[in-house]
Amino acid sequence: MTTKLVTFHPDMEVMHAVHTLVEKGISGAPVVDAKGNLVGILSQRDCLEVALTAAQDSCIAGPVAQYMSEKPKTVDPDTNLTQLATMFTTAPFRRYPVIENGQLVGQISRSDVLRAISQMC
């Protein structure tokens, strides 16, 4: 699980978020409100729509909230490796936010699961 996360705010200009994804070489990031509550995920897939809008409007596309996926599927820190591997093989998601006591504490990706399997075997 990654605990040092890039996060976005719903009112942030989405092109700034796109630049951050590209700069950091990541495929998506959680979107949190002012209290740190998870409100969505902004993924590369979501950003493809941004590209279409920005190309027509001089690279201004609106707030992250307009493009993010709301109510993302989450996991808790105790979700076991088998459950995670199953979730990644049956859903199109590349990452799941990790929530503990209602707060975002990290994110688990396909790469994290593969790394854990590799270390175990």
What length is written for the chain? Answer: 121
H or E, element range at 99: strand 95-100
At 25-81, the pLDDT tens digits run: 998 999 999 988 999 999 988 888 877 766 666 666 789 999 999 989 999 999 999
**Cβ-based neighbours of 56, under 8 Å, separated by 6 or more:** none
- Which pLDDT value is given to residue 58? 64
Type of residue found at 90: T
Higher pLDDT, 115 or 51: 115
Q: Is 32 in a helix, a strand, or coil? A: strand
Tell me how far apart the alpha carbons of residues 121 and 107 are, in angstroms, rounded to a whole number.
23
At 63-72, the pLDDT tens digits run: 999 999 998 9
Q: Is the pLDDT of residue 2 over 80?
A: yes
Q: Is the pLDDT of residue 108 over 90?
A: yes
- Which pLDDT value is given to residue 1? 83
- Which pLDDT value is given to residue 20? 94
Type of residue found at 17: A
Q: Which pTM was predicted?
A: 0.84
